[in-house]
Structure 1
Amino acid sequence: MNITSTLLLAFAMSTDAFAAAIGKGATLHKPHFREALKTGLIFGVIEGITPLVGWALGKAAAIYVTEWDHWIAFVLLFVLGARMIYAGFSTPDAPEEEKPNSHSFWVLAITGFATSIDAMAVGAGLAFVNVNIVSTSITIGLATMLMVTIGVMLGRVIGAKVGKRAEALGGLILIGIGSVILVEHLGLAA
């Protein structure tokens, strides 16, 4: 794989994390760059590790990874998305100053893992081609870190305009991402 292909793959792998990051940033009280960078780092590390795991599993037994990855991603993203939608509509808009200043590590890690399941499947696929999996994984992780950091800061702007409903919108985005992954892997897309 050449550098252009690697970069295109890396940014393609980061798009779902970018969408989730917009939702995460929208639910925070004026997130600072440090919070955005922390979120980007967590997502980037996870997104960089999962292709390595997928590659290792692909070397051992690719059929098991590709057979269930879409269901795992769909369920995780659906549950997280439904929780965000519920929170977005169950409580009235909090004043901007009452929004949390950050998300917990575990919320970010679970969301990062859910949006990186497809990277694990890509890693499994890369096990069958001549590719430097370490440099590819690092590139995917760095692209994700960049896109998520930008996404959180973009969410800051969106959150100030749409209030608490931004969390529900973020939940819909996560469910949409999970649904697209499921539809693509089940071959239902036209």
Structure 2
Amino acid sequence: MAEWVTLMIMACALGMDAFSVSLGMGMAGLRIMQIFRIGLVIGAFHIVMPLLGMVTGKWLSQYVGMIAHYVGGGLLLFIGVQMVISAWRQEEESLLQPVGWGLMLFAISVSLDSFSAGLSLGILGAKTLMTVGMIGLISMLLAWVGLIVGARFQHVIGSYSELLGGCILIGFGGKLLFM
């Protein structure tokens, strides 16, 4: 029971990153099917990344933490800058949509920390299926909540929502890169 509670807390902590970044992405004016797909992909990446981390093992753990932060921060900065540019251009179609490669970049950026967590959990001998399943499920649910709240908030602030969403992503990317 104690292991389950510990994993639940860790899954919530990893999922909160997905929630906060999804909040910014949700302000891009997404449709419900896009929100559904984005949540599924984020959940899938939050299964695959800690699984890869658990399998990779102890000898990489000293290097991966910093690399994950820099790559994730860079991806979030890229997506955020693209959203800000798109908002200033006043175009309907942005350069990087949350579909295809854009969605993959987004999902990777919010799940890289799960790889590092997977390394630690693998070293500690956590139950693999329970661990990755819980992280994936909670991350997916929190991403959906963030996307839906962001989409609802987008209607409140109108045309500035994509600009605000981009600034949120830039803030999180900068935090990962510089803190």
Normalising by the residue count of structure 2, what TM-score does the alignment of the two structures yield?
Answer: 0.86
Structure 2 segments unaligned to the other structure (5+ residues): none
Identity %: 27
Q: What SS does the aligned partner of 1:116 have? A: helix
After the TM superposition, which of the residue ranges 81-90 and 174-183 deviates more from structure 2? 174-183
CA contact (8 A) 1:27 1:164 kept: no
Structure 2: distance between partners of 1:144 and 1:15: 7
Structure 1: distance between partners of 2:10 and 2:149: 23
Residue of structure 2 equivalent to 1:73:
72
- What displacement does 1:108 show? 1.7
Residues 35-184 of structure 1 mapped to structure 2, 5 A cutoff: 35-91=34-90, 103-184=98-179
Q: Deviations over 1:116-175 (max 9, x none)?
A: 111111111222212112211111110011111122211221111122322222222222
- C-alpha spacing 1:124/1:158, structure 2 compared with 1 (3 Å): same
Structure 2: distance between partners of 1:7 and 1:47: 14
- C-alpha spacing 1:182/1:124, structure 2 compared with 1 (3 Å): farther
Amino acid at match of 1:15: M
Structure 2: distance between partners of 1:88 and 1:20: 18
Structure 2: distance between partners of 1:67 and 1:157: 35
Residue of structure 2 equivalent to 1:28:
29
Normalising by the residue count of structure 1, what TM-score does the alignment of the two structures yield?
Answer: 0.82
Higher helix share: 2
- C-alpha spacing 1:79/1:175, structure 2 compared with 1 (3 Å): same
After the TM superposition, which of the residue ranges 76-85 and 14-23 deviates more from structure 2? 14-23
